[in-house]
Amino acid sequence: MSRRVHSRSTQIDGLLLLNKPAGLTSNQALQRVKRLINARKAGHTGSLDPAATGMLPLCFGEATKVCAFLLDADKTYRVTAKLGIATDTGDADGTAVDTAEVPELSAERWAGILEGFLGESTQVPPMYSALKKDGKRLYELARKGETVHREPRPIRIDEICLLEIAGGRLVFRVHCSKGTYVRVLVEDIAKKAGTVAHTARLHRETVGAFQASDMLDLTGIEAAAASGSAAVLARLLPPDTALESMPAVQLDAETAARFSAGQEVAALAQESSGLVRVYGAGAKFTGVGELLGEGRLAPKRVFRTTEKNG
């Protein structure tokens, strides 16, 4: 693999939507791209397990400030389940702990079972997860053979559709809320059908408004960086593209300057409440604000992107 070596990192502001390959942790993938483009500051949002593939938003510079907002975004996955075998981790990396016959159900019957999971419900997080109990990660306890009580958490399934059913292979697409554990969903689907299962493959197709067509493969990023980082930087998305679900508020130059200085300002004709994208002169993205009612706008996150990347 070719890699450009620089003595000093540079200020880069924006997002890259990486199509994460299997075999890398989310942080390993982030650090590899960070080195390739010589970025000074970087973060990612919405971790994927090492075996999982698909959309991993990488945030650089000022764009790291949108990570927290992306954590709340809905996501879409293409899921391949192996029916008839359950594992201790719920995925293909685990050890088989149970087997069961796979019922011979029609595609229509499988589609009906999937549709039964639409809407709001609760889900018990798996032991093999990064959630903490008394300061320790659940997966650390699970590796010691320990099981602790986990409170059910609210989730929401907006869309779920059958793509393929063949023998012990079930493939479906699901659009779900944050906090949804697909591994647990697969186990619950199998239970509803009278069998057991684990997640054999997991591919994330979308995060929020970002689409699969916006993703870049790691090999493509590496090839582009080998001949200079400009080609990669040209694919950077502005930070505010991660916030398009928020309403936009336009401020004049003077008011935008006070907002950027951390001051509460007046937002004319804005009587509602909630988070908004804030723009200053020249439609320059200035930050995220919170409408407090009565035309008041308070800064929540101020962005100072460079002209080159912002």
Indicate which CATH number applies to the domain containing 93. Answer: 3.30.2350.10
| CA dist., res. 207 & res. 211, Å (int) | 7
Q: If residue 222 lies in a helix (H) or strand (E), which one and from where to where?
A: helix 218-226
- 4 within some domain: no
Provide the pLDDT for residue 1.
Answer: 42
Indicate whether 140 and 158 sit together in one domain. yes
What's the CATH code of the domain at 270? 2.30.130.10
pLDDT tens string 125-138? 888 877 888 788 88
Indicate whether 28 and 88 sit together in one domain. no
- 307 within some domain: no
Indicate whether 106 and 88 sit together in one domain. yes
pLDDT tens string 213-248? 889 999 988 888 887 777 788 888 999 999 988 899
Provide the pLDDT for residue 270.
Answer: 59
Name the band, by pLDDT with cuts 50, 70 and 90, for residue 306: low
Strand pairing report for 153-166 and 119-123? antiparallel
Name the band, by pLDDT with cuts 50, 70 and 90, for residue 28: very high
Indicate whether 177 and 285 sit together in one domain. no
- 169 within some domain: yes
Provide the pLDDT for residue 136.
Answer: 82
Indicate whether 120 and 151 sit together in one domain. yes
Indicate whether 139 and 85 sit together in one domain. yes
Q: If residue 20 lies in a helix (H) or strand (E), which one and from where to where?
A: strand 14-20
- Average pLDDT of the chain is 89
Which of these, 108, 104, 117, lies nearest to 187 by C-alpha position? Answer: 117
- 7 within some domain: no
- The residue segments making up the domain with residue 37 are 14-72+210-238
Indicate whether 142 and 203 sit together in one domain. yes
> pLDDT higher for 233 or 278?
278
- 141 within some domain: yes
pLDDT tens string 66-96? 888 888 889 999 999 999 999 999 999 899 9
| pLDDT for 8 beyond 80 | no
Structure tokens at 65: 């400030």
| pLDDT for 36 beyond 60 | yes
| pLDDT for 279 beyond 90 | yes
pLDDT tens string 149-192? 888 999 999 999 999 999 899 999 999 999 999 999 999 999 99
- 67 within some domain: yes
**Known catalytic membership, residue 72:** no
Indicate whether 202 and 218 sit together in one domain. no
Indicate whether 202 and 80 sit together in one domain. yes
Indicate whether 167 and 18 sit together in one domain. no
Average pLDDT over residues 20-28: 93
Catalytic residue among 13, 49, 214, 240: 49
Q: How far is CA 103 from CA 92, 172, 194, in A?
A: 21, 18, 7
Number of domains in the chain: 3
Within 8 A by CB and 6+ apart from 78, the residues are 54, 163, 171, 172, 173, 201, 202, 203, 205
- 308 within some domain: no
- 1 within some domain: no
Indicate whether 252 and 137 sit together in one domain. no
Provide the pLDDT for residue 9.
Answer: 64
Indicate whether 92 and 167 sit together in one domain. yes
| CA dist., res. 33 & res. 58, Å (int) | 9
